[in-house]
Amino acid sequence: MSTQDNRIVLATGNRGKVRELGEMVASLSLQIIPQSEFDIAEVPETGTTFVENAIIKARHAAQCSSLPAIADDSGLEVDALRGAPGIYSARFAGDNASDTDNLQKLLRDIDHVPDDQRGARFQCVLVYMQHAGDPTPIICQGTWEGSILRTAQGNNGFGYDPVFLVPSKNCSSAELTPEVKNQLSHRGQALRKLITTLQRDRVL
């Protein structure tokens, strides 16, 4: 990245992700621009893993914007569902499902599961590509262990946050302040690794 251009396109249309990532890089000399500002359409996520989907999204955003791109692919893995919803977390209840639709389907699907067998984790993969043809994209992963509550709690966050119990805080992810969530979360972990790598490689 040149010293004259500190812009990076963020390959997501998810407002929650845009807000969280923007907050976490606020102290850096970076300008994170959502791909929507370039009128870049969402690309079909045809991969079978978080890594594949993140690379697909980053390459598409870099190609359409001619800027370096960061893409996030993340989701919830529930032990009682053998890792589902996984890469399908955003469309667990259907292609046009809302956060509420997905959350309610999850609670229905594991309603019979005892409290001590409701383990789950959020996974996040962040990919940074210097350009669309970058042969060595930087890939960083974060994992956040917890379990699934029986009812939604809290009004912060998005997605499955209201039913994700954070053991160390004894509350849901949606009950955490943004600052605490960013310190603990899968996305925060992955982003700190990515920033460290970019600084090491003198990209930042």
At 170-192, the pLDDT tens digits run 999 999 999 999 999 999 999 99
Per-residue pLDDT, averaged over 73-85, amounts to 97
- Rounded to two decimals, what is the model's pTM? 0.89
User: Mind listing the pLDDT tens digit for each residue in 107-123?
Assistant: 999 999 999 999 999 99
Q: Quickly count: other Cβ atoms within 10 Å of residue 114's Cβ.
A: 8
Q: Are 85 and 92 in contact (CB under 8 A)?
A: yes
Strands 7-10 and 31-34: parallel
Average pLDDT, the chain: 91
**Maximum CA extent, the chain:** 57
Q: Tell me how far the alpha carbon of residue 26 is from its chain's centroid.
A: 17
Q: Which domains does the chain have, with CATH numbers?
A: 7-200 (3.90.950.10)
Residue 63, Cβ density class (10 Å: 0-12 exposed, 13-18 middle, ≥19 buried)? middle
Q: Which of 73, 99, 109, 201 is catalytic?
A: 73
Confidence class for position 85, pLDDT limits 50, 70, 90:
very high
Query: Is the pLDDT assigned to residue 68 strictly greater than 60?
Result: yes
> Phi first, then psi: what are they for 99, rounded to 5°?
-55, -40
Please say if 111 is a catalytic residue. no
